[in-house]
Structure 1
Amino acid sequence: TDMATSRPQLASLDAKQASGQHRPSKASRSSSTKMDLKHGLEECEVALKLFLNNKFKDALELLQPWAKDSMYHALGYSTIVVLQAIMTFEQQDIQNGISAMRDALQTCQKYRKKSTVVESFSSLLSRGSLEQMTEEEMHAEICYAECLLQKAALTFVQDENMINFIKGGLKIRTSYHIYKECLSILHILQKNKVEQQFFHEFEGGVKLGIGAFNLMLSLLPARIIRLLEFIGFSGNRELEMLFLLITFINHSIQYAIIRVALLQKPSLLIRFAGTGEVNLVEAENLLAPFLKQFPNGSFMLFYHARIELLKGNVEEAQEIFRKCISVQEEWKQFHHLCYWELMWINIFQQNWMKAYYYSDLLCKESKWSKATYVYLKASILSMLPEEEVEATKENVVALFRQVDSLKQRIAGKSIPTEKFAVRKSRRYSASLPAPVKLVLPALEMMYIWNGFPIVSKREDLSENLLLTIEKAETTLQNQNCSDYLVDDECLLKLLKGCCLKNLQRPLQAELCFSHVIQSENLLKFDHYLVPFTLFELAFLHKSQGDIDKAFKVLETARNNYKDYSMESRLHFRIQAALQLWRKPSSH
């Protein structure tokens, strides 16, 4: 989706352009010292089509020769390099991304309107009459803003010190203000009916930038939004959707990218925010023209598989993810995204050996979060009978004990899911005489990663999960008492309640949730269970039509608890739920 920055107008492309037959020759490149805006946009159209056809190297080779002379070449080239860095998480790739983005900023800066010393201390709007800005200078502003945003993302992952965190935050703030100022320019152009050759391209870039910021801000918890507003941010979900849709309708050069950006929305809400209430018909309609034009494009196949998964078509999603892996070998790191999804699909189906296979691949190949991957592998293996674990030649206890040494920090902060995995793995500490085994850790992680809304689309999967949970309850009752007994009982009640809720058995589900809430003072370790259970209870009340009671329970979960595992994730989910419930007509 970040390839939006290449400003493609896919409808204007043909096969000859994609094959490179209409690219400027190397001779013309060497003899020319500058590429104008028109040809810059045209070449980036070709580059993006190459990229979406899995020809990543070809796209880079097309963009690189002009990356220090053309703002859109610079932005397109650096975006691909940054995307690769984020996907591999290799330190060298991150350094390459930062270097490429630094060069891109310098290239864009050359095209920005020059300001005096006095003007440099004020905003873009003070640089002189906006009508006197050239079209090229206006495009340079949005390219520069987008470069800042991407460089900030890499700054966060480059090092763990707080200085980098502050630097990244300042870049994001500057980017946001440039977009806002470009919006003011846009309003003046529209008011004065100024005609420009590439007006729609500029309009699309501005509205996509503003829309993306507001979408991000609208999903943040209220306390974070208040902090951001103090330093100059503001979020408006209706404005965000209006801008995205206006740009989509305009069929500007942003046409294709708006569609791709919107495709992320259901995926984001269901996987992270956790509401489960998304418009999949809208997502399918947005994806359809892309699938037609790029039937073997990795990104398009990935989105297609995600939509099928959100619909509950896990078998179809599984096949599409496998195809997504088979269509290209150039970016192996893209395979890891598919391994992750395939691992969860097999967890949903309780195909534990297949789930182990994909978790093992992630442990061996991906750099993203070794602690999470190893914890997941150990959790999946702990769901298997002893003889099957022995066949894998893995040592489950040893794997759990590795987790703590594998944790990492980003922007000076520990990753929440890694902190969760480390804390849960302490049961297997080498200093303990005998570890107290975790209870259904794979299903607990499935809950943390919000798999139950997906499983809710399939009664058979929900029934099978319920049987597994009830079997674990029986086993737990027959075990010797331990310090973890109440926590384990409450975890099983939460998981069981989610299954019962999915199976439309609300009274039984509420009994399970009530058990967890009433056991609050008896919990010793898993204090996250109560606020998360309140969140589930709120959705149960809402499904029964008691919206006032649902709001009250949701507010209790948000305001009465703090300093528990995965707190930020729950606040994201609560915020998303409040957004949906307060304005259902906008969704």
Structure 2
Amino acid sequence: MSEQKIEQITNVLKEVVLMSSEDRELQRKKFIPHPPTGDSEKKRRDPEKASANLIEIIKGDVAINTLTPRQQEKEDENVIQGLDHLFDNQFMTAKGIFEEKADCDPLHALALSSMAFLKAVMTSADQDQTMALNALNVTYEIANLQLEATTISSKVSGYFSGYYNYLKKKDNTAINDPVTAPAPRQTGDYPPNGVLRAHVLKAECCLQIAILQLLQESVMGYVKCGLNLRKAYSSYSYVWQEYQKMGADHSAFMDSDTISGVQFGIGSVHLVLSALPAKILKAISAFGWKPDKQLGFILLNQCAEAKRVRSSMATIMLMSYYTAAISFAPQVLTEVYKKTAMDILLDAQRHHPNSALYLFFAGRMARNGLDLPLSTQSFLYTVEVSRGEWAEVAVTNSCRFEMAINHMITGNWSHAASTFDYLCEQHYWSAAFCKYAQGACYEMMGARTEAVLIFAQVSDLVVKKLGGRLSDIDSYVLRKVTMFQKSGYQNLDFYAPILEFMCIWNIFPYVNHDLLKIALDRIQRGLTTIQKCEQVVQEERMLEIAPDTPLPDYFDERASLLVIKSSILNVMGLAEETTLDINWILDHKECILQDTWVVPYALWEAGIACWTLDLKNKSRQVWEMALDHGKHDFEHRLAVRLNLALTLTEELGFTDPKTEPTGEKKLFSIG
């Protein structure tokens, strides 16, 4: 793809994200996504290429690092060149550069491990996570070996240097006046640059491992994440303290790439900590840590602006945080982060205009700007520029998933179903979910027979992992299809599976009002069907004195539909109309036994309703109540969302419910 075309997308993207909804429709006509060619769709990697794509680091002889800061910077230029290739989609070229010294130099090893890390984040595949974790663990060992070797060497040389300085000082004291200006600081006043560098590289290995564990969205994953963040922060803090002691002379004692690394590391740790669920954060706070999100932003921006070895990763970290935060809570955080994220993206694309990674974020940003055709086209171009390269499959599958989301947002259920079918075959993320989503799309199209046949395949695709347990998404879809099967799929009329997923993933804010009305009609049909079934049972019971027919129990089904309805009404600006539905869910929460996610997600929607009605303190109160609910579907996903929203209420000063304006009517039965 030409740079001119990519620049065109970028310019339009900048305009679209910030333009009014009236102008957006005119802009859409200029960008109609074109489907990829048939030949490229059939393209697959051959075995030799798959072998070349493997990232494996074998530890070699690790020598003592005695380079001065300037010598180290010159030595690191090779890695910076490799990173430029990486972000210009020349993945195999970058891989070759990093592999040259990956067995003995921890920075080369970390750069190579970072490639595996990025791939694992994009695919969420077990084999890619294992590959990344193995590479990062070996990199950690290489950095630790270099640290130990350098430390032992510096202790020996430090002894003789210190003894020499002592004799020199003693001799000078006998000759000169005792009141003299302090001598300039010497290299021996601080740890050698090689020691500081090794500490930073060790720490980043722990940081990347922690992020991979965080993305597992499991209790054990969060615990391991906390422990690795602790290890990372310990090393980062040591180097940061030495850096601060150096003051204005820091460049004389520390190379700029180590400074870049510590800025990236401490900034990233603070952002990750600020996004962690409250329960996990409390456990980590026992170590004496308190996340400082603003410090994280400042350090990562400084790192990105320096254009050194970790600058591109700092940009990726910032873009990941902003786009994830917006997608978790679009009604609350879109206006807070949208412009900042756009500025960072445009600056990054000025240096790497055809980067597949940045084009991927461009697609996410276009969606945040409510331009779905431009978003889809950005994802298509991302796939195009990565063809024939190391990350082709990872990038293609990630983009296809995002395009499937776009198809759902635009009500294009047929295309969404076929895309999920492809992703299932590729075993992307969760094959069970992709198959479930395919069936749910057919159900939305009214193709009940096809949907049932597809749902019947879901249980065979569920895979136990993460220590023998199911992932949250696999556990959810398995339970849903089991519920469908128990009734012989007759209760599908009581559910709206794909709309339920869109509610949980907070996708409705990107759907236009016409399609929201169609979705609302679908929910209302389900509620009406439940009501009719209840009436039939009641009429049968009225005919007998001691009826055998049990009382109708559709609490789970009705509650699920009502929370979806509330989510749609909130997006449509009808927050006050959610009160009755949410109150019904809260009043009957003891009867909701299977869809355990409904009550806490209903409290989230209650908080959104209050936020829309400018009752910000009430929102905080309701969201804090949602945090009290545990052991439900997608608990950790909701906890992250709640934490992001609650942090914003603190920053805005909405912390005391007593300061809420008086005379407001009670919206929800939460007292």
Q: Identify if the C-alpha distance between structure 1 residues 37 and 69 changes in structure 2 by more than 3 Å, giving closer, same or farther.
A: farther
* Residue in 1 that maps onto 2:634: 566
For 1:201, give the aligned amino acid. D
SS at match of 2:495: coil
Percent identical pairs in the alignment equals: 22
For 1:536-555, what aligned pairs fall within 5 Å after superposition? Answer: 536-555=605-624
User: Does the CA contact (< 8 Å) of 1:208 and 1:258 recur in 2?
Assistant: yes
1:470 aligns with 2:524: yes
* Change in CA separation of 1:494 and 1:103 when aligned onto 2, cut-off 3 Å: closer
Q: Which consecutive residues of structure 1, in runs of 5 or more, have no partner in the other structure?
A: 1-31, 120-128
Q: Secondary structure at the match of 1:395?
A: helix
Contact between 1:379 and 1:441, CA under 8 Å: does it hold in 2? yes
Check the 8 A contact 1:305/1:316 in 2, yes or no.
Answer: yes
Tell me if the contact between 2:408 and 2:416 (Cα under 8 Å) persists in the aligned partners.
yes
Partner of 2:237: 180
In the TM superposition, 1:287-436 aligns within 5 A as: 287-329=345-387, 330=389, 331-386=392-447, 390=450, 395-402=453-460, 406-411=462-467, 413-429=469-485, 435-436=490-491
- 2:434 and 2:612 map into 1 onto residues whose CA distance is 35
Select the residue among 121, 144, 155 that pairs with 2:202: 144
**Which string of whole-angstrom CA distances, capped at 9 and with x for unpartnered residues, describes residues 451-510 of structure 1?**
12333xx33343333233334434444456696623222222222222222121222122
> Residues 200 and 554 of structure 1: is their aligned pair in 2 closer, same or farther, counting only changes over 3 Å?
same
- Map 1:50-449 to 2 at 5 A: 50-85=85-120, 87=122, 93-112=128-147, 114-115=150-151, 131-151=189-209, 170-190=227-247, 193-196=249-252, 199-231=255-287, 233-248=289-304, 253-272=309-328, 276-278=332-334, 279-329=337-387, 330=389, 331-386=392-447, 390=450, 395-402=453-460, 406-411=462-467, 413-429=469-485, 435-437=490-492, 439-449=495-505
**SS class of match (1:525):** coil
Query: 8 Å contact 1:439–1:488 — kept in the other structure?
Result: yes
Shift, 1:156, TM fit? 8.9
TM-score (norm 1): 0.81
Change (3 A) 1:400 1:144: closer
- Give the SS at the match of 1:410: coil
Q: Distance in 1 between matches of 2:131 and 2:556?
A: 46
**For residues 130 and 536 of structure 1, do their structure 2 counterparts lie closer, same or farther at Cα, with a shift above 3 Å needed?**
farther
Task: Give a deviation string over 1:80-123, Cα, whole Å, max 9, x none.
Answer: 13433554566655554444334423432343264469x9xxxx
The residue identity in structure 2 corresponding to 1:174 is K
Give, in whole Å, the separation in 2 of the partners of 1:413 and 1:366.
18
Q: CA deviation at 1:315?
A: 1.6
Farther off after superposition, 573-582 or 544-553: 544-553
Amino acid at match of 1:111: Q
TM-aligned CA deviation for residue 132 of structure 1: 3.4
Distance 1:361 1:536 in 2: 33
Cα distance between partner residues in 2 of 1:553 and 1:130:
57
Q: Decide whether the 8 Å contact of 2:106 with 2:198 is kept in 1.
A: yes
Deviation at 1:283, TM superposition (A): 0.9
Further displaced range: 496-505 or 254-263: 254-263
Other structure's SS at 1:277 match: helix
Letter in 1 for 2:243: L
Secondary structure (helix, strand or coil) at the match of 1:545 reads coil
Partner SS, residue 457 of structure 2: helix
**Alpha-carbon deviation of 1:133?**
1.8
Q: Deviations over 1:377-402 (max 9, x none)?
A: 22222212238x65x9x813413443
The residue aligned with 2:78 is 43
The residue matched to 1:196 in structure 2 has which SS?
Answer: helix
Question: Deviations for 1:314-356, whole angstroms, at most 9, x for unmatched residues?
Answer: 1211111111122222221211111111111111112111110
CA contact (8 A) 1:85 1:97 kept: yes
- CA RMSD in angstroms comes to 3.4
Aligned to 1:503: 572
Quickly say closer, same or farther: Cα 1:95–1:285, change in 2 above 3 A: closer
Q: Which residue identity is paired with 2:105? A: S
Deviation at 1:565, TM superposition (A): 2.1
Deviations 1:235-273 (A, max 9, x none): 222332332344455565544443332111221113346
Which structure has the greater CA radius of gyration?
2
- Taking the aligned partners of 1:80 and 1:157, their CA distance within structure 2 comes to 17
Q: Specify the SS of the correspondent of 1:408.
A: coil
Using the TM superposition, give the Cα deviation of residue 299 of structure 1 relative to its aligned residue in structure 2, in angstroms: 0.6
Check whether the contact 1:528–1:567 (CA below 8 A) recurs between aligned residues: yes
1:67 alignment partner, SS class: coil
Query: By how many angstroms is 1:183 displaced?
Result: 1.4
Contact kept, 8 Å, 1:211 with 1:244, in 2: the verdict is yes
- Specify the code of the residue in structure 1 equivalent to 2:603: L
- Whether contact under 8 Å (1:273, 1:572) holds in the other structure is no
2:591 corresponds in structure 1 to 522
Give the Cα–Cα distance (whole angstroms) in 1 for the partners of residues 634 and 609 of structure 2: 21
What do the CA deviations read for 1:287-315 (whole angstroms, capped 9, x no partner)? 11322333332111100000011121112
Q: After superposition, give the CA deviation of every residue in 1:51-72 in whole Å (9 maximum; x if it has no partner).
A: 1121111111111111123332
Give the match for residue 580 of structure 1: 648
Q: How far off its partner does 1:214 sit?
A: 1.2
d(CA) in 2 for partners of 1:161, 1:465: 34
CA distance in 2, matches of 1:483, 1:531: 24
Larger deviation, residues 333-342 vs 469-478: 469-478
